[in-house]
């Protein structure tokens, strides 16, 4: 038997890893073929090491509390590589000035002292946020936009000035459209159970893990990709190969699939894992399950870019005493945020230099990353110049573009996924994995990959035949 994995990002590599583990444990036997259209593995995880700089073109960290990420890192022997941020203060842009966000508010905990120190909010906005424990819970259990939830619980000022940049910014999303059920179901559960987010967080305080919210790897997130790829001893990896189509293979018995490549080659397998964006999966499953393809095509995407800038320390007047800043959508500013990488993580820049990561691109604004690299670099530098006191031009710059790279979990996302799963139920050997579905963070992708590999191994090891 053969499993074909399409996509060599962290999700596809993890599927291969967990399938190999199931094979080593005797839970199935067969071959694994991983097809990646690019010339490198890792997808959006891109770590560049040049002249003493360590540049992350994609994610630079992962959620520490999600056990799937740490478990895989431990199994790969990378646990000693885990590092915590050395600067934790986060700023928010407010009327052209950078204001620190009190740490308790980073967890959306409306601690009275922290709310009163939120200088980017008016006194009326602070007092409204403090009323959250007395706001009655919503009666309906249906989905609702993130913005609606936040305004209802905390008031408009707190929602737009603090919560939305924290919660929607990571998705480059429009809070008026993002789904609470898909992105923050734990907050909905708190509201239902305790009647208040503040009371829910207070009751959960003993279960909260200590330590930083996010962690990274000393050698960069690319170390995870390198170690994961090196651990695959039973997987054949084909780079630079594009899938053109997927169709049922003729024959009786267990349903298998024919995957056509751009070279004209056709490979056949009893299992296929599509670790690709939803819009690509939609094209390939259209002939198998038209209704699934239609629902997959409904998932919208935002285009983003990361512009990393290196300056000499004496070119930057700001002390960079924090991890960076976020930008509310209401601010007339061309960036969505900026991470001060050399302050946040150790070893990101050589002595005497600083490294800044500027983010461009919102949902609904595809022009935000239009233009040559030089234009994006200039736009980023000029936006940061008055805020950080930049003098002169950067000594180095790197641009990483992600067109249609950020899936948007809009209201109704979970219903959409359920409909896709029902439509694909006649094809148990076909699995969808990736950021388009059940979470965009690295631990979420690892969890999805593990679940897909377990289901696939169980199906392939079953004695029953399947007629489709």
In this structure, which topology does domain 103-207 adopt according to CATH? protoporphyrinogen ix oxidase, domain 3 (1.10.3110)
Partner residues linked to 396 by β-bridges: 310
Whether 280 and 297 have beta carbons less than 8 Å apart is answered as: no
Task: Name the nearest CA neighbour of 222 among 50, 351, 71.
Answer: 50
Give Dmax over CA atoms of the chain in angstroms: 71
What burial letters (b/e) apply to 413-451, b meaning 16+ CB within 10 Å? beebbebbeebbeebbbbbbbbbbbbbbbbbbbbbbbbb
* pTM: predicted TM-score of the whole model, two decimal places: 0.94
* pLDDT of the chain, 468 residues: tens digit per residue: 899 999 999 999 999 999 999 999 999 999 999 999 999 999 999 999 999 999 999 999 998 888 899 999 999 999 999 999 998 899 999 999 999 999 888 887 778 899 999 999 999 999 999 999 999 999 888 899 999 999 999 999 999 999 999 998 889 999 999 999 999 999 999 999 999 998 988 887 656 666 778 999 999 999 999 999 999 999 999 999 999 999 988 766 678 899 999 999 999 999 999 999 999 999 999 999 999 999 999 999 999 999 999 999 999 999 999 999 999 999 999 999 999 999 999 999 999 999 999 999 988 888 889 899 999 999 999 999 999 999 999 999 999 999 999 999 999 999 999 999 999 999 989 999 999 999 999 999 999 999 999 999 999 887 444 443
Cβ neighbours of 337 (radius 10 Å)? 21
Cβ neighbours of 70 (radius 10 Å)? 19
- The CA–CA distances, whole Å, from 389 to 50, 150, 315, 317, 318 equal 25, 34, 8, 5, 6
Please report, for the chain, how many H helices and E strands are present, in that order: 18, 20
CATH class, range 301-407: alpha beta
Alpha carbon 62 to its chain centroid, in Å, reads 9
CA dihedral 337, 339, 340, 341 (to 10 degrees): -160
CATH class, range 2-43+222-299+410-461: alpha beta
238: left (phi over 0), alpha (psi -120 to 50) or beta: beta
For the chain, report the end-to-end CA distance as a whole number of angstroms.
17
Distance CA 15, CA 17 (A): 5
- Unique residue bearing structure tokens 């006649």: 426
- For residue 284, which phi and psi values (nearest 5 degrees)? -80, -25
Q: H or E element: which one contains 319?
A: none
For residue 353, what are the contacts with CB-CB under 8 A and spacing of at least 6? 52, 53, 310, 311, 312, 313, 342, 395
- Fold identical between 2-43+222-299+410-461 and 103-207? no
For residue 143, what are the contacts with CB-CB under 8 A and spacing of at least 6? 179, 180, 181, 182, 411, 412, 413, 414, 415
CA dihedral 61, 63, 67, 69 (to 10 degrees): -20
Domain boundaries, the chain: 2-43+222-299+410-461, 103-207, 301-407
């Amino acid at each position: 038997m053969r499993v074909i994995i399409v996509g060599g990002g962290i999700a596809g590599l993890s599927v291969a890893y967990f399938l190999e583990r199931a094979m080593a444990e005797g839970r199935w036997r067969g071959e694994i073929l991983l097809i990646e259209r690019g010339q490198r593995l890792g997808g959006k995880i891109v770590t560049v090491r040049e002249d003493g700089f360590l540049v992350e073109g994609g994610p630079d960290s992962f959620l520490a509390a999600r056990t799937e990420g740490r478990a895989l890192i431990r199994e790969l022997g990378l646990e000693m590589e885990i590092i915590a941020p050395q600067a934790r203060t986060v700023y928010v842009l407010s009327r052209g000035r950078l204001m620190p966000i009190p740490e308790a508010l980073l967890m959306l905990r409306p601690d009275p002292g922290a709310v009163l120190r939120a200088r980017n909010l008016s006194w009326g906005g602070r007092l409204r946020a403090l009323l959250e424990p007395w706001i009655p819970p919503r009666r309906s259990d249906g989905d609702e936009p993130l913005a609606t939830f936040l305004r209802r619980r905390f008031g408009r000022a707190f929602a737009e000035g603090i919560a939305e940049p924290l919660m929607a910014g990571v998705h480059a999303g429009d809070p008026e459209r993002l789904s609470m059920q898909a992105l923050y179901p734990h907050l909905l559960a708190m509201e239902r159970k305790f009647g208040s987010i503040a009371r829910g967080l207070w009751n959960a305080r003993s279960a909260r893990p200590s330590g930083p919210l996010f962690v990274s790897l000393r050698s960069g997130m690319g170390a995870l990709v390198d170690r994961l790829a090196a651990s695959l001893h039973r997987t054949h990896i084909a780079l630079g190969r594009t899938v053109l189509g997927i169709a049922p293979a003729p024959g009786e018995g267990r349903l298998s699939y024919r995957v056509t490549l751009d070279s004209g080659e056709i490979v056949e397998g009893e299992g296929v894992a599509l670790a690709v964006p939803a819009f690509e999966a939609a094209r390939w499953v259209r002939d198998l399950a038209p209704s699934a393809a239609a629902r997959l095509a409904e998932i919208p995407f935002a285009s983003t870019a990361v512009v990393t800038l290196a300056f000499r320390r004496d070119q930057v007047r700001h002390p960079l005493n924090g991890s960076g800043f976020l930008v509310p959508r209401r601010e007339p500013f061309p960036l969505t945020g900026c991470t001060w990488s050399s302050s946040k993580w150790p070893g990101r820049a050589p002595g005497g230099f600083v490294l800044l990561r500027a983010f461009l691109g919102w949902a609904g604004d595809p022009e935000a990353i239009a233009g040559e690299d030089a234009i994006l670099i200039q736009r980023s530098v000029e936006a940061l110049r008055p805020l950080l006191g930049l003098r002169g031009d950067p000594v180095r710059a790197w641009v990483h573009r992600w067109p249609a790279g950020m899936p948007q979990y809009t209201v109704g996302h979970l219903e959409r996924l359920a409909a896709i799963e029902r439509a694909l139920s006649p094809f148990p050997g076909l699995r969808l994995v990736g950021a388009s579905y059940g979470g965009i963070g690295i631990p979420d992708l690892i969890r999805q990959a593990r679940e897909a590999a377990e289901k696939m191994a169980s199906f392939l090891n079953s004695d029953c035949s399947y007629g489709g």
